[in-house]
Structure 1
């Protein structure tokens, strides 16, 4: 009985990590009725996109991310949390022989075809049981698709290569530029590597392929299928629009056709598709067309905020002012996020006075600032060394009943530290730790970390011991790093003192819990 090289590699791996699996696998080849791995039901696993909360400086959304995953059958897989190719968390899979959080939906379909095609994952840099396609093989695949050979699928199978996300994106980009129909290849991917079939960017490129071929019926059918899987479109879905347009009238015509399809299919594709359209035109600087999309869909603040964000990146502040006036005229009041884009851009240009003027205008227009608004001002004024002004914004935030988040405290600590005002940084931590207990561990740990990175492990140790005496547990990574640097500097006495302090704190916490 001959086995393919990928299958041999798989057997070698499992013969070490799980001899029983290896034995059962061989039995399954000799006795087809024996099934060592239960066939998985695709419907058992309902995947939901994870949220990506924005941080201090809000950025426009729309594009998806590809996350790296570790090998699903490693020894640490049972305790690790994996994400599939779309950054979505998989539910726990009970596979009988082992338990894994990896993305394994495709195993059931491929087991009955060939063991050498199992366990193919889309992410770069992970262990696989099959080589990734070389640039030459990618070119051969593109040519096979061009030829539209009746045996295309079998020829692709015979190549016995894995396709990475980057491979597929390159293939679809070439096919789309040359207006070569790619749907048949996309369906082949669904059966061979379904984890790639669900990738948001790849799904979007297939929609783009339909658009370039002016096949809106096929586009509608695809979007309905994507809705079932909760696929969210990215800006790659509508790359055909700038290519096909020759005038404003032509552009509006194509926009209406796309919007009509999105309105018909609704669901996740409609929501993400409209945002992708607006963002795509905004990135290109075609704000008029972006406004036209909003006019033909829905006049929402979140849609206008996409335009505001892109205008601020291009420093088109006059355009932003006109857009704010336009929003108010139609009863679509700007919100704090609208202004946060402006504040961030003004500070980046060094116009802190201008940011303060816009802040006053924001209050006059009865638009309440949020925590991010205040963090932008506090961060930038601390960076500039204007701590009195930063404190005024901090006090105003507290006065409005907004609880300071860790980012606000970190701005003061880093601001003082970067200006080598170490005493004031320490005084801020001591003065704020008791008042804002939810952030006290973070503040002490941050200050210790900054001293340690400044090659002052002794001071970092003192900060950690100070917080330990107050019953605060330091950030474990900061603690370990400081301990290591003390040991490297031959300060074993200090390292021992720090370790004893943390040990006594842990022991005290254990007694209290009992």
Structure 2
């Protein structure tokens, strides 16, 4: 291993957790925790000897590999022996949350808050997502209030609001989700595109199609960088539900704004219009779309 890692380090290549898959085999084949601990100690010694980016990426990946096989005590030992970084502890948080072990995740989180390495925005978001995923909405709201009182400018961040809106939309609580979005904008944060996806699908699947259309139009001025994606998604959903003419009208409205839709949305809707005998609308869409192709050719 030492010779191999020397070559990796000389080429300044990072290590991934796959480099430590042998630890899983060691854990399975032995009934004694000490043999796994011995393997981890030896591995860390070799990483220290290799140094460079190989060592930096290797420690992180070693923690990740140990967490993925449930060897959390060994992972904590590695962190304490190397560096108490939030990114390392977040690996443990992510693994606990993925397993639905909220108590274990909370213990890691509380340990970070009490120790010398405080949680960052990702730490809070892992815990928030775990609470909501397990239906603990009241505790999630309490956590958000704690986040807001934490005194850190980056907590909560855009991802925090995305997690909240996603679960609200998934539960069909669209009005509550809209309040969360308004709060995001009041904090001068930029919503991620996935927030808009959650809203459009949430409105659509709760039968509030008009609200979905109104939302897309409202966001074209409130968050203009998402306009193309939002209109294209809405057109696809309308087409999928058999409202093909409305889908065509949505794309027409988008292109009238001077914006190009996703190619897949344009092709899907155009074929649907042609199949149902609406060649007139299909031709109008084609004419507008061709303008974008011509403009793109001129720019190149």
- Normalization by structure 2: what TM-score? 0.89
Deviations 1:310-339 (CA, angstroms, capped at 9, x unpaired): 111222222222222221232211011112
Distance 1:505 1:290, change over 3 A: closer
Alignment check: 8 A CA contact 1:308 1:338 kept: yes
2:265 alignment counterpart = 478
Structure whose residues are more often helix by fraction = 2
**Structure 1 residue 294 and structure 2 residue 79: aligned?**
yes
1:506 positional shift: 6.2
Say how many residue pairs are matched: 293
Distance 1:480 1:241, change over 3 A: closer
SS of 2:59's equivalent in the other structure is helix
**Structure 1 residue 224 and structure 2 residue 6: aligned?**
yes
1:345 alignment counterpart = 130
State how far apart, in whole Å, the 2-side matches of 1:379 and 1:264 are.
45
Q: How does 1:473-512 map to 2 (within 5 A)?
A: 473-503=260-290
State how far apart, in whole Å, the 1-side matches of 2:238 and 2:221 are.
21
Alignment check: 8 A CA contact 2:165 2:180 kept: yes
What's the RMSD between the two structures over aligned residues? 2.3
1:265 alignment counterpart = 50
Structure 2 unaligned residues grouped into runs of 5+: none
2:165 alignment counterpart = 378
1:438 alignment counterpart = 225
**Structure 1 residue 429 and structure 2 residue 233: aligned?**
no
1:256 positional shift: 2.1
SS of 1:344's equivalent in the other structure is helix
- Normalization by structure 1: what TM-score? 0.53
Deviations 1:138-170 (CA, angstroms, capped at 9, x unpaired): xxxxxxxxxxxxxxxxxxxxxxxxxxxxxxxxx
1:75 alignment counterpart = none
2:183 alignment counterpart = 396
Q: How does 1:188-207 map to 2 (within 5 A)?
A: none
1:263 positional shift: 1.2
Q: How does 1:117-156 map to 2 (within 5 A)?
A: none
State how far apart, in whole Å, the 2-side matches of 1:239 and 1:466 are.
53
Within the candidate set 18, 35, 43, 1:236 is matched to: 18
Deviations 1:435-455 (CA, angstroms, capped at 9, x unpaired): 222112222111111111223
Alignment check: 8 A CA contact 1:468 1:505 kept: no
1:461 positional shift: 0.4
Distance 1:325 1:348, change over 3 A: closer
Alignment check: 8 A CA contact 1:486 1:492 kept: yes
Structure 1 unaligned residues grouped into runs of 5+: 1-218
1:488 positional shift: 2.0
State how far apart, in whole Å, the 2-side matches of 1:239 and 1:500 are.
56
Alignment check: 8 A CA contact 1:451 1:460 kept: yes
SS of 1:434's equivalent in the other structure is helix
Within the candidate set 102, 107, 122, 1:317 is matched to: 102
Q: Which consecutive aligned stretches of 4+ in structure 1 deviate over 6 angstroms post-superposition?
A: none
Alignment check: 8 A CA contact 1:259 1:296 kept: no
Deviations 1:339-380 (CA, angstroms, capped at 9, x unpaired): 222222222223333322222222233351221111111111
Distance 1:417 1:257, change over 3 A: same
1:170 alignment counterpart = none
Alignment check: 8 A CA contact 2:165 2:195 kept: yes
State how far apart, in whole Å, the 1-side matches of 2:52 and 2:178 are.
45
Alignment check: 8 A CA contact 1:256 1:296 kept: no
1:463 positional shift: 0.6
State how far apart, in whole Å, the 1-side matches of 2:207 and 2:46 are.
59
Alignment check: 8 A CA contact 2:8 2:54 kept: yes
State how far apart, in whole Å, the 2-side matches of 1:279 and 1:405 are.
27
1:308 alignment counterpart = 93
1:250 positional shift: 4.1
State how far apart, in whole Å, the 2-side matches of 1:405 and 1:284 are.
32
